[in-house]
């Protein structure tokens, strides 16, 4: 008998405003839509992420072995976040003041599920540069999830993460901009987007929870911009260009404490292995890391 084609295994649960996980099962794999936008958006977003990894990178789910994708929606009261807890996805409905439901942004779903992929591959520690790299890789594959779903080329994408999550009360367009870190929002209440766009503005913060574990959500702006520059420098579909090189680097046996320069070197090695030392692809990757100040010269 021929082997069955891999397919996603999803289960969506309703936490009903509580915090007990996973909650009541409302949609299993292959079941009809529920009519609840949050449950159905979560189901579709999990599927879109699985499709990216399976079709572009030959990876069957987060662990590469068909792991079930579990999600809970309607978590907590006015919970303005979405996260991967090491075993499943959790989605809040937003507070209705500054944030809408977190199931509405497919790139955020791809981002959070990619934390699971990193967990099962490099296992980067969530601190300082390795932690910021963890966040950046999640943004890279989150952006690719949206682009893959929309059939976009790198130069056609907006490179925003979480566009549409803010309510009209917020002066901003998204949670982060990979193209122009530091420009996603500037709001009297939420403040200004703190992401740097180069190592010259790297935020050297204490390595504690109060300071975002050394600024993991802040300093991810540097490798984010490098990925945007590499993707647009190579051109075409991101998952066929820079995305493949980033996936190769992620699965190359990185140390858990890999910093930006270590990961940059891994992407250059991937470009050289796939395209050659004198290739335009390697040159685009090198130029991207030089532009954000991670590498000097040829690296």
Alpha helices in 151-259 (DSSP H): 212-215, 221-234, 242-250
* Residue 233 near residue 189, CB atoms below 8 Å: no
Measured distance CA(133)–CA(139) in Å, rounded: 10
The H or E element that residue 25 is part of is strand 24-28
- Active site residues per annotation: 112, 217
Closest CA to 183 of 62, 163, 173: 173
> What CA–CA distance (Å, rounded) separates 187 from 244?
36
- Burial status of residue 124 (CB atoms within 10 A of its CB: 0-12, 13-18, 19 or more): buried
DSSP 181: T
Supply φ then ψ for residue 287, to 5 degrees.
Answer: -65, -35
Partners of residue 83 on adjacent β-strands: 90
Please give the sequence-ordered ranges of beta strands (E in DSSP) within 56-142, or none if there are none.
69-73, 82-84, 89-91
Alpha carbon distance 181, 22 (integer Å): 35
CA distance 39 to 268: 40
Alpha-carbon distance of 73 to 89, in angstroms, equals 9
Give all strands of the β-sheet with 89-91 in edge-to-edge order: 24-28, 10-14, 69-73, 89-91, 82-84
Q: What are phi and psi of 108, to 5 degrees?
A: -70, -40
């Amino acid at each position: 008998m021929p082997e069955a084609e891999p397919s996603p295994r999803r289960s969506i649960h309703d936490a009903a405003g509580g915090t007990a996980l996973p909650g009541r099962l409302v949609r299993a794999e292959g079941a009809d839509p529920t009519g609840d936008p949050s449950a159905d958006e979560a189901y579709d977003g999990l599927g879109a992420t699985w499709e990216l990894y399976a079709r572009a990178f030959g990876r069957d789910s987060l662990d590469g072995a068909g792991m079930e994708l579990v999600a809970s929606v309607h978590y907590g009261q006015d919970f303005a976040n979405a996260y991967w807890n090491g075993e499943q996805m959790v989605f809040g409905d937003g507070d209705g003041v500054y944030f809408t439901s977190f199931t509405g942004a497919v790139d955020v779903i791809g981002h959070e599920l990619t934390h699971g992929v990193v967990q099962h591959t490099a296992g980067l520690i969530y601190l300082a540069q390795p932690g910021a790299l963890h966040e950046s890789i999640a943004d890279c594959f989150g952006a690719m999830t949206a682009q893959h779903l929309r059939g976009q080329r790198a130069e056609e994408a907006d490179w925003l993460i979480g566009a549409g999550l803010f309510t009209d009360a917020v002066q901003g367009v998204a949670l982060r901009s990979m193209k122009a870190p530091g420009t996603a929002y500037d709001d009297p209440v939420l403040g200004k987007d703190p992401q740097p766009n180069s190592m010259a503005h790297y935020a050297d913060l204490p390595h504690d929870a109060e300071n975002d574990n050394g600024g993991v959500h802040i300093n991810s702006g540097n490798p984010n911009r490098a990925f945007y520059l590499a993707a647009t420098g190579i051109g075409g579909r991101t998952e066929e260009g820079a995305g493949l090189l980033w996936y190769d680097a992620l699965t190359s046996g990185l140390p858990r404490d890999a910093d930006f320069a270590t990961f940059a070197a891994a992407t250059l090695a991937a470009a050289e292995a796939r395209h050659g030392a004198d290739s335009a692809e390697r040159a685009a990757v090198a130029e991207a890391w030089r532009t954000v100040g991670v590498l000097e010269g040829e690296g």
